[in-house]
Amino acid sequence: MEQAALKQLFQQEFSKMVAVISKIYGLQHIELAEDIVSETFLLATETWAAKGMPPNPAAWLYTVARQQTLYHFRRNRIFTEKVMPELTSRQEKTDEAALDFSLQNIKDSQLQMLFAVCNPAIASEAQIGLALRILCGFGIDEIAEAFLSNKETINKRLFRAKEKLRTENIKMELPPEPEISKRLDNVLHVLYLLFSEGYYSKTQNQILRKDLCLEAMRLCVMLTEYDRTNLPRTNALLALMCFHASRFGARQTEEMSQVLYEQQDPALWDTALISQGMHFLDLSAEGNEISSYHLEARIAYWHCQKADTPEKWEAILQLYNQLLMINYSPSVALNRTFALYKANGQHEALREAEKLKLENNHFYFLLLGELYTGIDDRKAKMNYQQARALAKTQTEKEGIQQKINNLP
């Protein structure tokens, strides 16, 4: 089996199997669950290389993971009875009923796991890292790059987070009614970051990783299927994801080069996903809540409108003004400046852009390059060169170089 296909399967199935095993044996054994699943994939790699991939790879993995799990706990029965006697009765039930890898139990287990790792007892950064590892199948290298950190730091952070799961005796269960809304904020934030990592990946030399985006969307859909988490902001986030995902096909060429928004062919936009986004956006309008997801979803909606008119960009500009008031960030301020440029022209946007001084952000210099083009082409070239130097991927560097080549 090809390495890329196996990696994709790992990302899809790792979290499911870890969640089901942890639900049976408790979160205090989450590292053991990870080890069992990793061993299962190692065995799959060796077996499939020799015999070929089975017709249903996921079912093969579930069967082997079930066997590995039961074998491990039976083999360590003496240890668990002496050191952790609370496992004994649970283990006996597991031996009789076996592990349940049905679709419904996988969904229930993942939903419970999502809320468990977002427990307030765990530090915020550790919550996100743990979710990326346990629920999304991210490797330690990828998480380290996402946090702009190193493997040793991430491993220590994840170890401390798992220790918290043990020492706080955190259960795999949904929080009580009074807590669920607050905990949902953390859950949605993790899914937002996961989608963002896929939509603009910094951890690999490519712009788009659809598998991560689709995983975030799948988990978000799962939240909408449960009454207590099917709230306006959940639907707003899902609408945002649908609108962005609708332009996947237009964001890259066949050679994997990035296509900027202005050059995208609207004929390649997925109208079915745009309709889905509008559906979830309508659902998000229930009640009086306005979250940053609502505003970002409306901005994304306008980006799915083909007409490039001043009215469109004025609407986007006003939405960014609201977003800055409730959730300021340098990236939002930068995007707002681009909308100002489209709505009011280069000169006004250039005055605002110069105030931002985002010295380590290649998008900032990319925007400055565009704003200076035709006004001061020498400065435009300098800013494009700085953007190229800071760009994370080769495809971006090539696109920026093309802009430099197009200058007089």
In angstroms, the CA 247 to CA 226 distance is: 28
8 A C-beta contact, residue 160 and residue 126 = yes
Under the banding of pLDDT at 50, 70 and 90, the label for residue 395 is: confident
Q: pLDDT tens digit string along 196-229?
A: 877 876 555 455 577 778 888 988 999 999 989 9
8 A C-beta contact, residue 240 and residue 297 = yes
Whether 282 is covered by a domain: the verdict is no
8 A C-beta contact, residue 291 and residue 312 = no
Whether 389 is covered by a domain: the verdict is yes
Whether 186 is covered by a domain: the verdict is no
In angstroms, the CA 107 to CA 225 distance is: 10
402: containing domain: 358-408
Q: pLDDT tens digit string along 306-348?
A: 888 889 999 999 999 999 999 899 999 999 999 999 999 999 9
Worst-scoring range by mean pLDDT, 1-5, 176-180, 349-353?
A: 1-5
Whether 372 is covered by a domain: the verdict is yes
- DSSP H helical segments within 357-376, as ranges? 362-372
Worst-scoring range by mean pLDDT, 79-88, 159-168, 280-289, 367-376?
A: 79-88
Report the SS3 class of residue 244: helix
Whether 109 is covered by a domain: the verdict is no
8 A C-beta contact, residue 339 and residue 318 = no
pLDDT at 186: 85
In angstroms, the CA 30 to CA 168 distance is: 14
Average pLDDT of span 138-165: 84
Whether 375 is covered by a domain: the verdict is yes
Report the SS3 class of residue 151: helix
Worst-scoring range by mean pLDDT, 27-31, 274-278, 352-356?
A: 27-31
Residue 81 has pLDDT above 60, yes or no: no
Which sign, positive or negative, has the C-alpha torsion 286, 245, 137, 99?
A: positive
If you count them, how many residues does the chain have? 408
Residue 1 has pLDDT above 80, yes or no: no
Q: pLDDT tens digit string along 16-62?
A: 999 999 988 889 889 989 999 999 999 998 999 888 889 999 999 99
Which residues lie across from 258 on neighbouring strands?
A: 252
pLDDT at 344: 94
pLDDT at 83: 47
Whether 113 is covered by a domain: the verdict is no
Q: pLDDT tens digit string along 86-142?
A: 555 555 554 445 578 888 899 899 999 999 988 888 887 788 888 888 888 878 887
The total domain count for the chain is 1
Whether 253 is covered by a domain: the verdict is no
Which residues lie across from 252 on neighbouring strands?
A: 258
